[in-house]
Every structure is written in structure tokens, then in C-alpha cells.
Amino acid sequence: MQNSETNSVINVVKSVEPPKLLEQVRGKIRLKHYSIRTEQAYLDWIKRFILHFDKRHPSEMGAVEVEVFLTYLAVERNVSASTQNQAKSALLFLYKEVLGVALPWLDNVEQAKTPKRLPVVLTKTEVQAVLGRLSGTHWLVASLLYGTGMRILEVLRLRVKDIDFERKEILIRDAKGFKDRVTMLPLTLVTPLKTHLERVKQLHQNDLNDGLGAVYMPQALGLKYPYAARDWIWQYVFPSGNLSQDPRSKNEVEPVMRRHHLQDQSVQRAMRQAVVDSAITKPATPHTLRHSFATHLLEGGYDIRTVQELLGHSDVATTMIYTHVLNKGGRGVSSPLDVL
């Protein structure tokens, strides 16, 4: 009888196939709490790498194939240095974290040099012109970008609990580098934000009435506080107008439908049109408002360390780049033509 039970267990174990490579990658990424965008980017690059070599398994390849692939991206595809480095990071993660292969050669693969470019900065008049051509939620998001210096995804991922109207502060959770920081809440946005949140709260109540209303909870908070996902304080400040399938539940038997936050592409399109309508001859994007925030603070005489803290830069050298785009021309030197 025992032999029969033992054989049954062995047969069950044999019937369970090991997870496929991409599933292993996905599991390792989620174990390390990487963002969903990093997960999607890494999986995409690993797929491209495998397909480039006729679906050979990465364990059968090595330094030669990685260098050939990265060279192909730079020479034939003419990708930017940052894109090439992202592909390298994905392959580095695959070999070190998933396959568990010690490959010292991968550290020696040459890193593409990212060109050092000065950021595009709008003048105060140009910022006014752009904001004046936006409306509704897009205006509010753009105003927060310029008024606080946040990155676009930092704004869109804000939860109701992160805004402190009494202290006039905004708490930014899990920003770049998994760091938290605090920035100011512009006084001019207090009333518009409160009005906006009243509409969002009604939308959330409608979802609850329909048996929905659960928002994505970061990391393991959903297990620790199973009912918190439906609480008002955890809802996104800028929710999407439509319900959508949670990409993390894509391979589950019953995919989860949630109201995610507003997509950044929507804000980018609105900003692009506002720049065109303002007749501004600069390639301005939502991130340009962050650059403008930093530059205008420095122009106003604020200490660079204060600006560094508000932007969330680890190194003040990163913040120093804005000293080169102040409104005094190159290096702050007056042209000799102007004194003739």
C-alpha cells in the first residue's frame, strides 16, 4: 500500500513541468518587487535575444552572442545608448538572477556611453501658455508636474492618502531608487484638487456598488490588509476612466479587473498638442515641466541642496545640470556684443 502511495506521489511530481524560462524571469522580477514596466521591458528584451538566435536557449549561449546582439542593436537598429543599456541590463538579470550562471564576462561587456545633453527648459511665459491650453485632469496633472517637480508616473501613482492638505505636502512613495520623499503642495492647487477628489470619490463609490473598487496594492500589502484595497485612502488620485485587466494576473485562471491610474500617454498627447498650439519651438514633454521647476527655483535664489531634495536626486551633481540652463546664456557670461 505504501509502495502504491509512493509511486502515486512520484508520478504527480514527474507530471509537474518546471516553469518556462519567461515564467521564471517574471517570478524573479516580482520577488524583487520591480515595477510592472521593468518586468515588461526585461521580458521583451529577453524574447528578442532568444528570437535573434533562432530560439536557442540562453544557457547554450554566452559572451559572443550577447556582444553580437548588443552590437546589432547599436549598428543595424541604430538604437540609443539608453536603449542598448536597458537590453544589457535585461540580459544581465537573466543570467545572474534567473539562470544562476556566474558570467564575469558580462560585467566586461562595454557599456554604451549615454550622451550628456542639457535638458529642455520652458520659460515662465511658455509654461503659462502651455497650462493655459490644457483643461480638466490634464491641466491638473501638468500643474502638479511644474508646481512640485515630480516625475509623471510619480504624479499618476499618487494615492489619496499621499496628499496632506493641512500640511500642504505631498508624500511620494517608492520613487526612483525605491526612495520616499516629500514635496510641497502648491496653494493654488488645493481647491482644484479637492474638487477633483470629490468626483473621484463618487466614481469609486460607483465601482463599489458594482462589486468592484479594489485597487492594486503594492508588494505584500494586499495580503497583510486584505480589505484595504477597497478603502478610499488607497485609491489613485488620477484613476483611469475605464476598468482594465491587471497585467500581473494575465496568466491566472480568473484575471483581475481593476481601475488603474491614468495612462501617461494621455498626458503626453495633451501636452504635445498644447505645445503646438502655443507655437513653442522646443521639443517639450511632460518631463520638461520638471526641468522647468528646478531651473526656475534656482533662478529664484533657492539653494541647490533644497532643489536636490525636492527632485529626489541621490547626487547633487545631477542637480547641478540645471545651473547650466539659467537665463544668463552660456555659463552665465554676458556677450561682448551686448556692451558695445
Supply the residues annotated as catalytic: 151, 176, 287, 290, 313, 322
The strands making up 181-184's β-sheet, listed across from edge to edge, are: 163-164, 169-172, 181-184
**Is residue 258 helix, strand or coil?**
strand
End-to-end CA distance of the chain: 106
**DSSP-derived pairing of the beta strands 257-258 and 163-164:** unpaired
The residue whose grid cell reads 544581465 is 92
C-alpha cell of residue 7 = 509511486
Q: What is the rounded CA–CA span in Å between residue 79 and residue 101?
A: 28
DSSP class per residue in 54-71: TT--GGG--HHHHHHHHH
Are the CB atoms for 284 and 290 separated by under 8 Å?
no
Q: Where are the beta strands (DSSP E) in 186-325?
A: 244-245, 257-258
Residue 270's Cα: distance from chain center in Å? 19
Report which of 251, 291, 288 is spatially closest to residue 267, judged by C-alpha positions: 288
Number of H helices and E strands in the chain, helices first, is 15, 5
